[in-house]
């Protein structure tokens, strides 16, 4: 197990480097937007990766609410943390892309606004996990995650339900994309997904060790006669 992580890390780094080359050099330049469109290869895969992580968070939260499984709780926490990072990338790259294309950094478009709300929900989830010392914190957080997960499909389908300034999806929504661009997009999504998996794996191991240490300290305090004085 210890030798697997470095190997996967090297392979992921190589894949990320290859995806970077494909996005900045190999992919054709979009005729209307020019090179600024290349943010697309980071903006969209980041959104997809965040959605998957929030979905895993939702499933793990439901499992925890049913079975009170500590492992499920750790998976939910880790996926929420990494998902917020990728969602932050979406919110940062979006305005950078919008400024030269739309002429504005931000507009209260339904897709943009609902993505911001989604981000705030999961940031609140992490704040609750971080600063609440109640024994019911995992249950409350899992309940919040279940409610927050309902926002994910709303964000995704908002451009179908509402008239928005955000462009229509290039796949399954009446849009079109150059096959080479689609190829680069999927490579970047694979690279981002592998990177997210490694970060979640590392964070899960750290969280597991931290909880074992906290449990050991708690047991030591209970067994220490001086603690009852």
Q: Compute the distance between CA of residue 177 and CA of residue 87 in angstroms, rounded to an integer.
A: 24
Could you give the 3-state DSSP secondary structure of residue 34?
strand
Its pTM stands at 0.89
Answer yes or no: is 20 within a domain.
Answer: yes
Domain range for residue 190?
A: 4-28+37-166+175-200
Predicted local distance difference test score (pLDDT) of residue 102: 78
Answer yes or no: is 212 within a domain.
Answer: no
Answer yes or no: is 13 within a domain.
Answer: yes
Answer yes or no: is 227 within a domain.
Answer: no
Phi, psi of 23 (to 5 degrees): -75, -40
Q: Compute the distance between CA of residue 53 and CA of residue 44 in angstroms, rounded to an integer.
A: 14
Total tally of structural domains belonging to the chain: 1
Predicted local distance difference test score (pLDDT) of residue 163: 67
CB 203, CB 57: distance < 8 Å? no
Structure tokens that stand for 202 in this block: 């590392």
Predicted local distance difference test score (pLDDT) of residue 105: 81
Answer yes or no: is 206 within a domain.
Answer: no
Tens of pLDDT along the chain (229 residues)?
A: 667 888 999 999 999 999 999 999 999 988 888 888 899 999 999 999 999 999 999 999 999 999 999 999 999 999 999 999 999 999 999 889 888 887 888 888 888 888 999 999 999 999 999 887 777 888 999 999 998 888 888 888 877 776 666 666 655 555 567 889 999 999 999 999 999 999 999 999 999 998 888 788 777 777 765 654 5
Answer yes or no: is 218 within a domain.
Answer: no
Count how many Cα atoms sit within 13 Å of the Cα of residue 78 in the half-sphere of its side chain.
Answer: 21
Q: Which residues contact 23 (CB under 8 A, 6 or more apart)?
A: 38, 41, 42, 184, 188
- CATH number, domain with residue 122: 1.20.120
Answer yes or no: is 51 within a domain.
Answer: yes
DSSP structural state of residue 38? G
CB 24, CB 38: distance < 8 Å? yes
Q: Compute the distance between CA of residue 24 and CA of residue 184 in angstroms, rounded to an integer.
A: 10
CA 176 distance to own-chain centroid: 26
Number of H helices, E strands in the chain: 7, 0
Answer yes or no: is 100 within a domain.
Answer: yes
Q: Which residues contact 14 (CB under 8 A, 6 or more apart)?
A: none
CB 119, CB 84: distance < 8 Å? yes
């Amino acid at each position: 197990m210890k030798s697997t992580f470095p190997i996967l890390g090297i392979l992921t780094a190589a894949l990320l480097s290859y995806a970077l080359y494909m996005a900045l050099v190999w992919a054709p330049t979009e005729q209307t937007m020019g090179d600024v469109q290349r943010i697309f290869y980071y903006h969209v895969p980041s959104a997809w990766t965040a959605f998957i992580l929030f979905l895993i968070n939702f499933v793990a939260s439901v499992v925890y609410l049913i079975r009170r499984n500590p492992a499920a709780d750790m998976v939910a926490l880790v996926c929420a943390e990494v998902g917020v990072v990728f969602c932050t990338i979406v919110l940062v790259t979006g305005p950078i892309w919008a400024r030269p294309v739309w002429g504005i950094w931000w507009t209260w478009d339904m897709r943009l606004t609902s993505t911001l709300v989604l981000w705030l929900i999961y940031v609140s989830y992490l704040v609750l996990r971080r600063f609440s010392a109640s024994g019911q914190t995992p249950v409350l957080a899992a309940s919040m995650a279940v409610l927050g997960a309902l926002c994910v499909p709303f964000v995704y389908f908002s451009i179908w339900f509402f008239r928005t300034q955000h462009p229509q999806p290039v796949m399954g929504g009446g849009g079109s994309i150059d096959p080479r661009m689609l190829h680069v997009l999927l490579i970047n999504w694979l690279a981002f997904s592998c990177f997210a998996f490694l970060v979640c794996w590392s964070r899960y191991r750290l969280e597991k060790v931290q909880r074992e240490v906290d449990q050991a300290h708690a047991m030591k305090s209970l067994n220490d006669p001086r603690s009852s004085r």
